[in-house]
Amino acid sequence: MRLPRSLLLLCCLPALTAWAGEPHPACPKGALLHSEQQFDGYTWRRCERVEASGKRVSHGPFAELDGQGRLQRRGGYTDGKPSGTWTTYHPNGTRKAAGPMEGNTFHGLWTEWFEDGRVLVTKEYEHGRLVRQNGRLMSTFGDGPKADHAFYIQRSRQVAIVRVVDILPGLQTALDPGTVIFEVLEPLRGTPAGRVSGHVGSVTTTGVEVGTVALAGIEPEPHDVKEVMHPPQRVEGRVTGVIIVPSVEQARQQARTLGPGR
Protein backbone atom coordinates (compact mmCIF):
# COMPACT_ATOMS: atom_id res chain seq x y z
CA MET A 1 0.00 0.00 0.00
CA ARG A 2 1.34 3.43 -0.94
CA LEU A 3 1.46 5.81 2.03
CA PRO A 4 0.13 9.37 1.67
CA ARG A 5 2.95 11.88 1.38
CA SER A 6 2.00 13.49 4.70
CA LEU A 7 2.42 10.19 6.56
CA LEU A 8 5.54 9.33 4.60
CA LEU A 9 7.07 12.64 5.60
CA LEU A 10 6.30 12.07 9.29
CA CYS A 11 7.71 8.55 9.32
CA CYS A 12 10.87 9.59 7.60
CA LEU A 13 11.74 12.80 9.48
CA PRO A 14 14.79 11.31 11.27
CA ALA A 15 16.28 10.24 7.96
CA LEU A 16 15.79 13.71 6.50
CA THR A 17 18.24 15.33 8.90
CA ALA A 18 21.15 14.31 6.71
CA TRP A 19 21.88 14.67 3.01
CA ALA A 20 24.31 11.85 2.24
CA GLY A 21 26.14 12.47 5.52
CA GLU A 22 25.78 16.25 5.40
CA PRO A 23 23.14 18.59 6.89
CA HIS A 24 20.22 18.88 4.47
CA PRO A 25 20.07 22.30 2.78
CA ALA A 26 17.19 24.40 4.07
CA CYS A 27 14.08 24.69 1.94
CA PRO A 28 13.14 28.18 0.69
CA LYS A 29 10.46 30.10 2.55
CA GLY A 30 7.06 28.61 1.87
CA ALA A 31 8.42 25.18 0.88
CA LEU A 32 8.53 22.00 2.98
CA LEU A 33 10.83 19.00 2.77
CA HIS A 34 9.27 15.77 1.48
CA SER A 35 10.65 12.26 1.11
CA GLU A 36 9.05 9.82 -1.30
CA GLN A 37 10.03 6.28 -2.23
CA GLN A 38 9.74 5.51 -5.94
CA PHE A 39 8.56 2.24 -7.48
CA ASP A 40 12.16 1.29 -8.32
CA GLY A 41 13.28 1.49 -4.69
CA TYR A 42 14.94 4.88 -5.05
CA THR A 43 14.08 7.73 -2.68
CA TRP A 44 13.49 11.34 -3.69
CA ARG A 45 14.06 14.09 -1.13
CA ARG A 46 12.86 17.45 -2.31
CA CYS A 47 11.41 20.75 -1.19
CA GLU A 48 7.87 21.45 -2.32
CA ARG A 49 5.47 24.33 -2.05
CA VAL A 50 1.73 24.27 -2.61
CA GLU A 51 0.23 26.66 -5.15
CA ALA A 52 -3.16 28.32 -4.70
CA SER A 53 -4.66 25.65 -6.94
CA GLY A 54 -3.43 22.95 -4.56
CA LYS A 55 -0.78 21.71 -6.97
CA ARG A 56 2.54 20.68 -5.37
CA VAL A 57 5.59 22.20 -7.08
CA SER A 58 9.24 21.29 -6.51
CA HIS A 59 11.06 24.37 -5.27
CA GLY A 60 14.46 24.14 -3.59
CA PRO A 61 17.10 21.41 -3.00
CA PHE A 62 16.60 17.89 -4.39
CA ALA A 63 18.40 14.59 -3.80
CA GLU A 64 17.92 11.04 -5.06
CA LEU A 65 19.22 8.01 -3.13
CA ASP A 66 19.30 4.40 -4.27
CA GLY A 67 17.92 1.45 -2.32
CA GLN A 68 21.15 1.27 -0.29
CA GLY A 69 21.01 4.92 0.69
CA ARG A 70 23.78 5.99 -1.71
CA LEU A 71 23.47 9.44 -3.23
CA GLN A 72 22.71 9.18 -6.96
CA ARG A 73 22.08 12.80 -7.90
CA ARG A 74 21.50 16.16 -6.29
CA GLY A 75 20.46 19.56 -7.53
CA GLY A 76 17.63 22.02 -7.17
CA TYR A 77 14.37 23.26 -8.60
CA THR A 78 12.93 26.72 -9.14
CA ASP A 79 9.16 26.83 -9.60
CA GLY A 80 9.07 23.20 -10.72
CA LYS A 81 11.99 23.35 -13.18
CA PRO A 82 15.55 22.08 -12.65
CA SER A 83 17.96 24.94 -12.02
CA GLY A 84 21.44 25.62 -10.72
CA THR A 85 24.18 22.99 -10.48
CA TRP A 86 23.22 19.30 -10.72
CA THR A 87 25.59 16.46 -9.84
CA THR A 88 25.30 12.71 -10.43
CA TYR A 89 27.41 10.07 -8.69
CA HIS A 90 29.03 6.72 -9.41
CA PRO A 91 28.15 3.77 -7.13
CA ASN A 92 31.45 4.30 -5.27
CA GLY A 93 30.42 7.84 -4.34
CA THR A 94 32.68 9.78 -6.70
CA ARG A 95 31.21 12.36 -9.04
CA LYS A 96 29.96 11.09 -12.37
CA ALA A 97 28.85 14.37 -13.96
CA ALA A 98 28.19 17.92 -12.85
CA GLY A 99 27.01 21.13 -14.45
CA PRO A 100 24.26 23.74 -14.64
CA MET A 101 20.64 23.24 -15.63
CA GLU A 102 18.31 25.88 -17.02
CA GLY A 103 14.65 25.05 -17.48
CA ASN A 104 14.76 21.32 -18.24
CA THR A 105 17.95 21.28 -20.29
CA PHE A 106 21.71 21.30 -19.91
CA HIS A 107 23.06 24.83 -20.24
CA GLY A 108 26.68 25.82 -19.69
CA LEU A 109 29.84 23.83 -18.93
CA TRP A 110 29.47 20.20 -17.82
CA THR A 111 32.23 17.83 -16.71
CA GLU A 112 32.08 14.03 -16.61
CA TRP A 113 34.45 11.78 -14.67
CA PHE A 114 35.52 8.16 -14.56
CA GLU A 115 34.95 6.35 -11.24
CA ASP A 116 38.61 6.84 -10.30
CA GLY A 117 38.23 10.63 -10.53
CA ARG A 118 39.90 11.16 -13.90
CA VAL A 119 38.10 13.61 -16.17
CA LEU A 120 36.35 11.85 -19.03
CA VAL A 121 35.17 14.86 -20.96
CA THR A 122 34.09 18.49 -20.66
CA LYS A 123 31.09 19.73 -22.63
CA GLU A 124 29.51 23.09 -23.25
CA TYR A 125 25.77 23.27 -23.90
CA GLU A 126 23.49 26.03 -25.11
CA HIS A 127 19.92 25.29 -23.99
CA GLY A 128 20.38 21.53 -24.41
CA ARG A 129 22.44 21.65 -27.61
CA LEU A 130 26.04 20.43 -27.37
CA VAL A 131 28.25 23.10 -28.98
CA ARG A 132 31.73 22.33 -27.70
CA GLN A 133 33.54 19.30 -26.34
CA ASN A 134 36.94 19.72 -24.70
CA GLY A 135 36.95 23.23 -26.20
CA ARG A 136 36.32 22.03 -29.76
CA LEU A 137 33.28 23.04 -31.81
CA MET A 138 31.07 20.06 -32.55
CA SER A 139 29.81 18.94 -35.92
CA THR A 140 26.49 17.08 -36.07
CA PHE A 141 25.48 13.67 -37.36
CA GLY A 142 21.80 12.75 -37.57
CA ASP A 143 20.15 14.02 -34.39
CA GLY A 144 23.36 13.93 -32.34
CA PRO A 145 27.10 14.64 -32.67
CA LYS A 146 28.88 11.68 -34.23
CA ALA A 147 32.25 12.97 -33.00
CA ASP A 148 30.86 12.88 -29.48
CA HIS A 149 30.01 9.17 -29.70
CA ALA A 150 33.34 8.35 -31.34
CA PHE A 151 35.19 10.17 -28.57
CA TYR A 152 33.38 8.20 -25.88
CA ILE A 153 34.03 4.90 -27.62
CA GLN A 154 37.74 5.64 -28.06
CA ARG A 155 38.11 6.61 -24.38
CA SER A 156 36.13 3.68 -22.95
CA ARG A 157 37.89 0.80 -21.27
CA GLN A 158 35.81 -1.70 -23.23
CA VAL A 159 34.44 -1.67 -26.77
CA ALA A 160 31.97 -4.18 -28.20
CA ILE A 161 29.39 -4.78 -30.86
CA VAL A 162 26.02 -4.83 -29.11
CA ARG A 163 22.35 -5.35 -29.86
CA VAL A 164 19.35 -3.68 -28.21
CA VAL A 165 17.25 -6.24 -26.29
CA ASP A 166 14.99 -4.01 -24.16
CA ILE A 167 13.94 -0.35 -23.99
CA LEU A 168 12.21 1.53 -21.18
CA PRO A 169 11.12 4.89 -22.64
CA GLY A 170 11.52 7.94 -20.44
CA LEU A 171 10.22 11.46 -20.76
CA GLN A 172 13.04 12.24 -23.22
CA THR A 173 14.34 15.06 -21.03
CA ALA A 174 17.76 15.66 -19.54
CA LEU A 175 16.58 14.21 -16.22
CA ASP A 176 14.55 11.29 -17.57
CA PRO A 177 16.13 10.05 -20.81
CA GLY A 178 14.93 6.46 -20.53
CA THR A 179 16.97 3.22 -20.37
CA VAL A 180 18.21 0.79 -23.02
CA ILE A 181 19.50 -2.72 -22.31
CA PHE A 182 22.07 -4.11 -24.75
CA GLU A 183 23.51 -7.60 -25.07
CA VAL A 184 27.16 -7.96 -26.07
CA LEU A 185 27.50 -9.75 -29.40
CA GLU A 186 31.24 -9.41 -29.96
CA PRO A 187 33.91 -7.92 -27.65
CA LEU A 188 36.45 -5.76 -29.51
CA ARG A 189 38.46 -4.33 -26.59
CA GLY A 190 38.53 -5.62 -23.05
CA THR A 191 36.23 -8.42 -22.01
CA PRO A 192 32.66 -7.09 -21.82
CA ALA A 193 30.13 -9.86 -21.46
CA GLY A 194 26.47 -10.38 -20.80
CA ARG A 195 24.32 -7.27 -20.80
CA VAL A 196 25.08 -3.57 -20.45
CA SER A 197 22.83 -0.53 -20.15
CA GLY A 198 22.67 3.02 -21.42
CA HIS A 199 20.31 5.97 -21.68
CA VAL A 200 18.12 6.59 -24.69
CA GLY A 201 19.60 10.09 -24.67
CA SER A 202 23.13 8.70 -25.08
CA VAL A 203 22.29 7.05 -28.40
CA THR A 204 21.09 8.42 -31.70
CA THR A 205 17.40 7.96 -31.00
CA THR A 206 16.34 7.66 -34.64
CA GLY A 207 15.70 3.99 -35.43
CA VAL A 208 16.58 2.62 -31.98
CA GLU A 209 14.44 -0.46 -31.36
CA VAL A 210 14.82 -4.01 -30.11
CA GLY A 211 17.30 -5.71 -32.45
CA THR A 212 19.24 -2.54 -33.36
CA VAL A 213 22.97 -3.24 -33.74
CA ALA A 214 25.58 -0.72 -32.59
CA LEU A 215 29.24 -0.18 -31.83
CA ALA A 216 29.47 0.76 -28.15
CA GLY A 217 31.97 2.09 -25.66
CA ILE A 218 31.50 0.53 -22.23
CA GLU A 219 32.67 1.31 -18.70
CA PRO A 220 32.43 -1.85 -16.56
CA GLU A 221 30.06 -1.72 -13.58
CA PRO A 222 29.85 -5.38 -12.47
CA HIS A 223 26.66 -6.75 -10.95
CA ASP A 224 24.64 -3.55 -11.30
CA VAL A 225 20.89 -4.15 -11.27
CA LYS A 226 18.52 -1.95 -13.25
CA GLU A 227 15.49 -1.92 -10.96
CA VAL A 228 13.56 0.33 -13.36
CA MET A 229 13.25 -2.46 -15.91
CA HIS A 230 10.37 -4.93 -15.71
CA PRO A 231 11.54 -7.37 -14.49
CA PRO A 232 14.77 -5.86 -13.02
CA GLN A 233 17.83 -6.77 -15.07
CA ARG A 234 21.42 -7.37 -14.02
CA VAL A 235 24.00 -5.62 -16.18
CA GLU A 236 27.80 -5.66 -16.24
CA GLY A 237 28.57 -2.24 -17.66
CA ARG A 238 27.44 1.26 -18.62
CA VAL A 239 27.33 2.31 -22.27
CA THR A 240 29.09 5.67 -22.66
CA GLY A 241 28.32 6.16 -26.35
CA VAL A 242 27.19 4.24 -29.40
CA ILE A 243 27.20 4.46 -33.15
CA ILE A 244 24.18 2.77 -34.73
CA VAL A 245 25.06 0.53 -37.69
CA PRO A 246 23.04 -1.73 -40.03
CA SER A 247 25.02 -4.92 -39.34
CA VAL A 248 27.73 -6.59 -37.26
CA GLU A 249 30.17 -6.43 -40.19
CA GLN A 250 29.67 -2.69 -40.53
CA ALA A 251 30.23 -2.33 -36.79
CA ARG A 252 33.62 -4.03 -37.26
CA GLN A 253 34.43 -1.64 -40.09
CA GLN A 254 33.41 1.36 -37.97
CA ALA A 255 35.65 0.14 -35.16
CA ARG A 256 38.62 -0.02 -37.53
CA THR A 257 38.06 3.58 -38.64
CA LEU A 258 38.08 4.78 -35.03
CA GLY A 259 41.53 3.36 -34.36
CA PRO A 260 42.94 1.84 -31.15
CA GLY A 261 41.60 4.52 -28.76
CA ARG A 262 42.97 4.82 -25.23
Q: From first to last of the 262 residues of the chain, give the pLDDT tens digit.
A: 333 433 333 333 333 333 445 556 789 888 888 888 877 678 888 899 998 888 999 999 999 988 888 898 999 999 988 999 999 998 889 998 899 998 778 888 988 888 888 887 788 888 777 666 665 433 333 334 444 677 778 888 899 999 988 877 654 444 555 678 899 999 999 988 889 988 755 444 445 678 888 898 888 887 777 665 667 778 888 888 888 888 899 889 888 887 665 5
Residue-level pLDDT at 22: 54
Residue 78 and residue 100: Cα distance in Å, rounded?
A: 13
Give me the helix-helix angle, 146-155 and 248-258, nearest 10°. Answer: 80
Residue-level pLDDT at 91: 87
For residues 150-166, one letter each, b for 16 or more C-beta atoms within 10 angstroms of the residue's C-beta and e for the rest, the string is: bbbbbbbbbbbbbbbeb
Four-residue CA torsion sign, 261, 258, 205, 127: positive
Residue-level pLDDT at 155: 81
The CATH architecture of the domain made up of 153-258 is Beta Barrel (2.40)
Indicate the domain borders of the chain: 5-148, 153-258
Question: Is 143 within 8 Å of 204 (Cβ atoms)?
Answer: yes
Residue 211 and residue 186: Cα distance in Å, rounded?
A: 15
What is the DSSP code string of 169-235? Answer: ---SBTTB--EEEEEEEEEEES---SEEEEEGGGS--TT--TT-EEEEEEEEEEEEEETTSSS-EEE
